[in-house]
């Protein structure tokens, strides 16, 4: 066995430079734990002469990342380019096809092409590791793929996007609206100049589909994740939720229901007493419910140079040690295909805020429609009187089916005194 593991890094952005820094500062500790030296021999990025605040002279530079892959001085290709297709996919597929291990932090790539790449890894007897693709430094891939192998997992959920959690926390604490807080998050570097992947829930959906496959042994089904972002969350709803004993969080929730799975990403109300509600700012948290492990909560930094690099190093050490684990916990041929529950079949509670003209009979008409649709009211909040003016009526509703809820709201929206589209958030009841 070679006394060293030679690494080639493609992509020298925040995470790539983070990996170089961690290896430089902790190389003696890492090598001792790995049982061999882990050496970065080669690097590749778009621009060679960019000032990165770190000397690249110790490494062999490749203008073309495909040439790096075929270098005899590279045993493991670390892909840190990002993006579900294009260069990232080509790099990983090429490396695996010639029998080289791959470590990636690319959640879009794994969510959209993970099965294809896992098959290539198996056929060529190499590892495809991706701990850094989900929740940064939180070792959730290892927990699901290795630590909980003796459990049936029936649910996994959590805060999977730090940008959204930061925005919702700031909206609550600073009494500001979404767009204002988003602009501040972009200024501080918490949000991208184009924040769509984050705030629309797509980033969380990528991660949730990976977690579903690991938890339930299913083929990845990113396209079947029902996704809603936080764009429509208003400070007024955060206020009302707090008054009712709830916080608002963007959650990814995957459940196994007999022969079906559900995969939802949406902003929802959670009890102020729930542990997940106390996860603040840019932190991530994941809760796993196992048949023997019960509820496990993992919380930590979900992004950034240090946390993500930490996860990359963990994958490299596994390869150096000779640890071999199927990409999704079982061989690809043993991944099962399950039907996916529609959001219309969801059964749970709801929060609704109606904006109506304050006039006699409004509440009676709304409640009669809900009654006819078999939707039961839990609480009602209506402050003050403003005859002839618009007011908010806020309700929380007992558990019901989504399709009944939607049918009721469609009928209520046709009432003449309803002046704006209602705000609806699901209520999730977790332990604690």
Torsion of CA 197, 200, 202, 204, to 10 degrees: 100
Give domain status of residue 325, yes or no.
Answer: no
Distance CA 240, CA 266 (A): 18
Looking up residue 177, the CATH number of its domain turns out to be 3.30.360.10
Provide, rounded to the nearest whole percent, the portion of the chain with pLDDT above 70.
99
Q: Are 86 and 206 members of one domain?
A: no
Question: DSSP readout, 363-412?
Answer: HHHHHHHHHHTT--EEEEE--S--TTSEEEEEEEEEEEEHHHHHHHHHHH
Our answer to whether residue 46 is catalytic in this structure is no
What size, in residues, is the chain?
432
> Do 16 and 144 have their domain in common?
no
Catalytic choice (107, 142, 207, 423): 207
Same domain, 241 and 261: yes
- Measured CA to CA in angstroms, residue 46 lies from 55, 65, 102, 106, 228 at distances of 16, 9, 20, 18, 34
Of 109, 133, 157, which marks where a domain is finished? Answer: 133
Q: Which residue has the higher pLDDT, 164 or 54?
A: 164
C-alpha span between 299 and 284 (Å, rounded): 6
Q: What is the pLDDT of residues 94-134, one digit of tens each?
A: 999 999 999 999 999 999 999 999 999 999 999 999 999 99
Instruction: Look at residue 333 and tell me if it is in a domain.
Output: no
- Whether residue 169 sits in one domain with residue 83: no
Q: Residue 2 — pLDDT band, cuts 50, 70, 90?
A: low
For the record, the structure tokens of 167 come out as 């925005």
C-alpha distance from residue 126 to each of 56, 75, 103, 107, 164 (Å)? 28, 10, 11, 20, 36
Separation CA 294–CA 432 (nearest Å): 13
- Answer yes or no: do 295 and 179 share one domain: yes
| Secondary structure of residue 113 in the 3-state scheme | helix
pLDDT of residue 141: 97
What's the pLDDT tens digit per position in 127-156? 999 999 999 899 999 999 999 999 999 999
Over 50: is that where the pLDDT of 1 sits?
no
Q: What is the pLDDT of residue 214?
A: 96
pLDDT digits (tens, 9 = 90+) for 367-424: 999 999 999 999 999 876 777 788 999 999 999 999 999 999 999 999 999 999 999 9
Q: How far apart are CA 316 and CA 17, in angstroms?
A: 16
Question: Do 17 and 114 belong to one domain?
Answer: yes
Q: Is the per-residue pLDDT at 189 higher than 80?
A: no
Handedness of CA 260, 265, 269, 274 (dihedral sign): positive
Segments forming the whole domain that contains residue 399: 344-428
236, two tokens: 């007024």
Query: 336 in a domain, yes or no?
Result: no
248-284 confidence digits (pLDDT tens): 999 999 999 888 999 999 999 999 999 999 999 989 9
**Do 52 and 164 fall into the same domain?**
no
CATH of the domain at 384: 3.30.70.260
β 283-290/153-159 pair status: antiparallel
pLDDT for the residue 188? 79
Count of domains for the chain: 3
**Sign of torsion over alpha carbons 67, 72, 73, 75:** positive
343 within 8 A of 264, measured Cβ to Cβ = yes
Domain membership flag for residue 334: no
CATH number for 40? 3.40.50.720
In whole angstroms, what is the distance from residue 95 CA to residue 93 CA?
Answer: 6
pLDDT of the residue at 432: 47
Provide mean pLDDT across the span 7-14. Answer: 95
Last residue of a domain, one of 92, 117, 133: 133
Tokens standing for 415? 């009432």
- Per the CB < 8 A criterion, the answer to whether 302 and 211 are in contact is no
Taking only the tens place, the pLDDT of each residue in 17-27 is 999 999 999 99
Mark whether 370 and 396 lie in a shared domain: yes
Q: Residue 296 falls within a domain, yes or no?
A: yes
Would residue 183 count as lying in a domain? yes
The DSSP bridge partners found for residue 155 are 255, 289
Asked if residue 262 belongs to a domain, the reply is yes
Q: What residues does 246 pair with on adjacent strands?
A: 271
C-beta of residue 164 within 8 angstroms of C-beta of residue 182:
no
Categorize the per-residue pLDDT at 431 as very low, low, confident or very high, splitting at 50, 70 and 90. Answer: low
Chain center to CA of 370 = 34
Residues 205 and 288 in one domain: yes
- Domain boundary residue, one of 248, 276, 301: 301
User: In terms of domains, do 257 and 378 share one?
Assistant: no
Q: Are residues 144 and 292 in the same domain?
A: yes
Q: What is the pLDDT of residues 295-346, one digit of tens each?
A: 999 999 888 889 999 999 999 999 999 999 999 999 999 999 888 899 999 9
Angle made by CA atoms 56, 61, 67, in degrees to the nearest 5: 155
209 in a structural domain: yes
Average pLDDT, the chain: 93
The separation between CA 270 and the C-alpha centre of its own chain, rounded to angstroms, equals: 18
Q: 348 and 199 in one domain? A: no
């Amino acid at each position: 066995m070679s006394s060293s593991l030679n690494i080639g890094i493609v992509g020298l952005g925040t995470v790539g430079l983070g990996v170089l820094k961690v290896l430089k500062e902790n190389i003696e500790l890492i090598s001792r734990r790995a049982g061999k030296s882990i050496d970065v021999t080669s690097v590749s990025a778009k621009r060679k002469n960019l000032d990165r605040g770190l000397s690249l002279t110790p490494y062999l530079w490749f203008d073309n990342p495909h040439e790096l892959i075929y270098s005899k001085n590279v045993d493991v290709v670390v892909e840190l380019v990002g993006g579900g297709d294009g260069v990232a996919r080509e790099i990983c597929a090429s490396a695996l096809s010639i029998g080289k291990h791959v470590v990636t932090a690319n959640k879009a790539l794994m969510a959209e092409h993970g099965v294809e790449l896992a098959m290539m890894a198996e056929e060529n007897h190499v590892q495809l590791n991706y701990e850094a693709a989900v929740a940064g430094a939180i070792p959730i891939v290892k927990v699901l793929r290795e630590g909980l192998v003796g459990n049936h997992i029936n649910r996994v959920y959590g805060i999977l996007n730090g940008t959204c959690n930061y925005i919702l926390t700031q909206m609550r604490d600073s009494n500001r609206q979404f767009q204002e807080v988003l602009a501040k998050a972009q200024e501080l570097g918490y949000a991208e100049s184009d924040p769509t992947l984050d705030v629309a829930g797509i980033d969380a959906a990528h991660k949730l589909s990976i977690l579903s496959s690991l938890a339930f042994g299913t083929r990845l089904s990113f396209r079947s994740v029902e996704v809603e972002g936080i764009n429509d969350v208003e400070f007024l709803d955060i206020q009302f939720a707090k008054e009712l004993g709830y916080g608002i969080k963007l959650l990814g929730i995957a459940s196994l229901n007999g022969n079906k799975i559900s995969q939802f990403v949406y902003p929802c109300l959670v009890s102020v007493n729930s542990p997940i509600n106390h996860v603040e700012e840019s932190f991530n948290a994941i809760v796993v419910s196992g048949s023997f492990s019960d509820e496990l909560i993992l919380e930590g930094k979900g992004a950034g140079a240090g946390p993500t690099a930490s996860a990359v190093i963990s994958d490299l050490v596994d390869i150096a040690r000779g640890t071999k684990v199927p990409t999704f916990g079982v061989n690809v041929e043993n991944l099962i295909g399950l039907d996916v529950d529609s959001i219309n079949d969801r059964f749970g509670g709801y929060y609704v805020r109606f904006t109506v003209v304050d006039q006699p009979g409004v509440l009676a008409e709304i409640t009669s429609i809900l009654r006819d649709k078999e939707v039961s009211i839990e609480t009602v909040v209506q402050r003050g009187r403003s005859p002839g003016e618009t007011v908010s009526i806020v309700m929380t509703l007992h558990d019901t089916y989504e399709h009944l809820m939607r049918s009721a709201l469609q009928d209520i929206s046709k009432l003449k005194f309803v002046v704006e589209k209602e705000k609806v958030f699901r209520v999730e009841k977790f332990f604690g």
